[in-house]
Structure 1
């Protein structure tokens, strides 16, 4: 399935396809009759997402045909890309700079993380601000889906202040 992205998606249009789970067979010495493969697709636009869904179906059917088998693709559309409203993003940067200083601002590159905040942005303009909770002294610098992930709970106070200050600034404009 990796070739769906590497061979059919424009390399200038970021996309990630990850297989995270495979359930195959029931015994070590019996050829599996069935297999279930689960994964995730991440991209920034719906056109690419539609294309990947179609290509997964084509690839699955063709590989199954080679072996005289059948394949069924269930493609569930979970969260979509989080695209910040420019005005809201600039406001949250201004608020963070005033509350915590210029050094607190870090412009993150677009990421392929899945986040249901995207559903809010379908309804109203807004901005998803990352607060950060990594702290090597507390062993909390691991990525969200890493087995050692943990959060420095001191970041909760920072996040609460940022969001309260943002709401105040937004309501006073």
Structure 2
């Protein structure tokens, strides 16, 4: 019997939430520090959340090329992150939510 696999849907950002998140990031980090990633065909479980609620998927840079030998992909067994970025990422997520709720 053939096993039926549930496929992941495409991860599609809500245009309004994308613009909001980008605006918050640029205000926090400076426009030069916000980069738009190219589209990808990879699957992401965030797509299931985005089907139920307004959302935007973004990456937060966790590498530090001045202190690390090499930045490895997130799903690599050799992945290491610069932990100094964690408070910045947490503050960004909080700011996206706070700004969104204050405008609603």
TM over 0.5: yes
Match of 1:133 in 2: 62
What's the secondary structure of 1:113's corresponding residue? Answer: coil
Match of 1:146 in 2: 76
Does residue 81 (structure 1) correspond to residue 36 (structure 2)? The answer is: no
Unaligned 5+ segments in structure 1 are 1-71
TM-score in terms of structure 1 length: 0.54
2 CA distance for matches of 1:98 and 1:145?
30
Does residue 167 (structure 1) correspond to residue 72 (structure 2)? The answer is: no
Question: Relative contact order (alpha carbons < 8 A, sep ≥ 6): 1 or 2 greater?
Answer: 2
Q: CA RMSD in A?
A: 1.7
Say how many residue pairs are matched: 102
Correspondence 1:1-40 to 2 at 5 A: none
2 CA distance for matches of 1:120 and 1:170?
17
- For the pair shown, the structure with the greater C-alpha radius of gyration is 1
Task: Give the deviation of 1:147 after TM superposition.
Answer: 3.1
Task: Give the deviation of 1:161 after TM superposition.
Answer: 0.8
TM-score in terms of structure 2 length: 0.85
Equivalent pair of 1:99/1:162 in contact (CA under 8 Å): yes
Task: Give the deviation of 1:110 after TM superposition.
Answer: 1.1
What's the secondary structure of 2:11's corresponding residue? Answer: coil
1 CA distance for matches of 2:87 and 2:70?
16
